Structure 1
Amino acid sequence: METPEYTPIPERAAQAMAGFIPSEESIDKKVAQFAHISPRDEDKEGDTEVIDGVTFTHHFVDAPGDYDVIRWHYVEAGVGEAIVFLHGIPDSWYQWHPQMVAFASSYRCIAVDLKGYGQSEKSAGDYRHEGAAEELYTMLQQIGVTKFNIVGHDRGSVQADFIAANHPESVLRYGRGEQHLYHFNPVLAPQEALFRDAPWTGAMEDPKRFAVWVYTWITNRPISDEVMARVIQEYAYPGIVRAVPRYFNSSTFRQEWLTRRRRLLKAWTCPVVIMQGYGSKTQPREFYEKAREYIPNAKDVAVHFMPGGHFWTLECPDETTEAIRHLLTM
């Protein structure tokens, strides 16, 4: 089988990559801003909270997986056709709260804590993204979500890629963001080794510092201290810093890229919207401009570039909402 070559990095993107990792001193200052943030109590089944006038309900469910059961945490708002939101690293369901607020009046919005994150299962098991995606799909079937739109960001898009490919009968539309698609170059993924080796290097040992570091590294627009504080709390539940690196020891970015090129992209048949940060430092926009060519069997393909960096769901929530709104009309 022919192995594709890495795509050369555009000169513009290479210049953006140069020296863009923040200094330890700058991170120290930002972490100090959140020194007062304490851990958040875990939720219970049926707990509610109100965000921007919308009621969010916390749910926990045990579903088959890993030859046993997996405890899932998800948050729900609204009624109607389902939208399933999947977050990235170092995030949780909360990453999507602005979009859930926007769509709850017309849609059943379900944001899941991926296995290993937030308040979902963190024990040992299958942390291959395809395996975890199949377990997540099983959970959605169990709670009655049999047909749904799916929207992913970063690592959430990796699992959504498999769900859209393996279960086209269930996926109505796919909004995919901030993840390598057809093009890839490992120079753009320096974080892979850091995350893979985190259990030994202690890179994630302080979840507050890790969350602040990642957000400082690849955001282009400011995020409020209030929102950042909740991001930190959601990444600080016990067990996350041990569970999340399992993903990076179960596969590689190269393997993910090859699987997309060889199998997944041609298996997507629903309408697809590719969402990327216009100024994303690790995801050059040039790699996505011709996305229609890379997803040949999708009913339709559109590309939306967000004005923020990597974390555009929180950097530019209104523009993110509009991109998803476009998806829902396709």
Structure 2
Amino acid sequence: MPPPFLTSKRMQTLPTESLGAYADEELIKHLPGFTNHYITVNGVQLHYAEGGSGPALICLPGWPQTWYSYHPIATQLAQRYRVILVDLRGMGSSDKPLVGYDKKTMAQDIYELTRHLGLEKVSLLGHDIGGMVASSFAFNYPEATEKLILADGAHPSEGMMQMPLLPAPGSFTEKMNGQYPYPWWMAFNQVKKLPEQLLAGRFEYLLDYLFGYVMLDERKMSAFDRALYATVYNQPGSIRASNAWYQAFDQDIADAKMYGRLTMPVLGIGSYVSYQYLQMSLPYMAEQVQVIGILDSGHYLFEEKPDRVLEAVYDFLR
């Protein structure tokens, strides 16, 4: 079982000296040509890894992963682009403050990071929660957004309010049903304090269930990756911070009502669990939309079908 961690009183950051093989300085060795960096922007310290050269591509991960979720595709992307893999506010080695988990504030974190890096215009690739933050970045900083790629995640909308409390009869089995998806953790993660008490020190049980439920081939999520994510999410501060991404949906939905449609090119990459959702939602969100389905993959597309993801990204950004 991954070791428990103490948390700092101010920001509850991970003590990297206790992470062993899962510390940023060890993980970066798996990505030749990439380097770790830490910068304070918008009042929080963010960790990011950077590699490659060319047009800038900001990569934002989702729950319950970290910057390392891009490792199946990062080195290949870095052959064509300046790739920046970011631990979002509340994730991995980035700070975990008590506030600021609405996607507009998290997008401001990323915008100020791009300013620090001297990047006037960037493309963004976001997965899951990272797609929500990438969407907010495009809405709030269109002049800084070249193109937007959303992999199984887009900006929160009022449609979330229609999610069922109970699954459709016969649809809740070992694998998520693509026609009647039942993401029960959307509700579970709304609960404050109880998830930390239930999951701290035993987060691997949730991870194993989740990967089995939303992946078609869960063998593609390696034992090392599972142990890594269990380790970094195993402490109460990390659980509290990552759940706060979900608890901010009300504010995100209110913010969405203030946005117009995006005018830059937008690509949606949907697994079998999200393809229909992206097809329906993205045309309301943007004027120039392309949606492709990788229907022989579950939610964790980078692990299950990295070559297909790379092909879609290359074609879109070319």
Deviations 1:159-205 (A, max 9, x none): 11110011111111100121256755312442122112152243432
Contact 2:268/2:282, CA 8 A, preserved across alignment: no
CA distance in structure 2 between the aligned counterparts of 1:91 and 1:73, rounded to whole angstroms: 14
CA distance in structure 1 between the aligned counterparts of 2:214 and 2:56, rounded to whole angstroms: 30
* Of 35, 49, 66, the match for 1:57: 35
Q: 1:134 to 1:92 in 2, by over 3 A?
A: same
Stretches of structure 1 lacking an aligned partner (at least 5 in a row): 1-34
State the 1:62 CA deviation.
1.2
Q: 1:199 to 1:315 in 2, by over 3 A?
A: farther
What residue in structure 1 maps to residue 174 of structure 2?
none
What residue in structure 2 maps to residue 13 of structure 1?
none
Q: 1:258 to 1:180 in 2, by over 3 A?
A: farther
Q: 1:61 to 1:190 in 2, by over 3 A?
A: same
Q: 1:292 to 1:86 in 2, by over 3 A?
A: closer
CA distance in structure 2 between the aligned counterparts of 1:37 and 1:102, rounded to whole angstroms: 33
Secondary structure in structure 1 of the residue aligned to 2:187: helix
* Of 279, 285, 291, the match for 1:289: 279
What residue in structure 2 maps to residue 200 of structure 1?
194
CA distance in structure 2 between the aligned counterparts of 1:293 and 1:250, rounded to whole angstroms: 24
Q: Does 1:160 align with 2:134?
A: yes
CA distance in structure 2 between the aligned counterparts of 1:303 and 1:247, rounded to whole angstroms: 25
Secondary structure in structure 1 of the residue aligned to 2:33: strand
* Of 185, 188, 213, the match for 1:217: 213
1:227-246 to structure 2, matched below 5 A, reads 227-236=225-234, 239-246=237-244
State the 1:296 CA deviation.
4.7
What residue in structure 1 maps to residue 247 of structure 2?
249
* Of 126, 143, 150, the match for 2:124: 150
Contact 2:38/2:46, CA 8 A, preserved across alignment: yes
What residue in structure 2 maps to residue 81 of structure 1?
55
Aligned residues: 279
- Whichever residue aligns with residue 131 of structure 1, its letter is T
- Whichever residue aligns with residue 268 of structure 1, its letter is L
Secondary structure in structure 2 of the residue aligned to 1:227: helix
- Whichever residue aligns with residue 204 of structure 1, its letter is L
* Of 299, 310, 314, the match for 1:310: 299
RMSD: 2.7
What residue in structure 2 maps to residue 9 of structure 1?
none
Bigger drift between 218-227 and 231-240 goes to 231-240
Runs of 4+ in 1 over 4 A off after TM superposition: 35-39, 180-184, 255-260
Contact 2:57/2:83, CA 8 A, preserved across alignment: yes
What residue in structure 2 maps to residue 132 of structure 1?
106
Contact 2:148/2:264, CA 8 A, preserved across alignment: yes
* Of 82, 88, 96, the match for 1:114: 88
- Whichever residue aligns with residue 311 of structure 1, its letter is Y
Q: 1:37 to 1:213 in 2, by over 3 A?
A: farther
Q: Does 1:268 align with 2:262?
A: yes
CA distance in structure 2 between the aligned counterparts of 1:199 and 1:58, rounded to whole angstroms: 32
CA distance in structure 2 between the aligned counterparts of 1:199 and 1:215, rounded to whole angstroms: 24
CA distance in structure 1 between the aligned counterparts of 2:285 and 2:241, rounded to whole angstroms: 32
Identity rate, percent: 23
State the 1:316 CA deviation.
1.2
Stretches of structure 2 lacking an aligned partner (at least 5 in a row): 5-17, 165-181
Q: 1:327 to 1:37 in 2, by over 3 A?
A: farther
CA distance in structure 2 between the aligned counterparts of 1:203 and 1:290, rounded to whole angstroms: 36
Secondary structure in structure 1 of the residue aligned to 2:83: strand
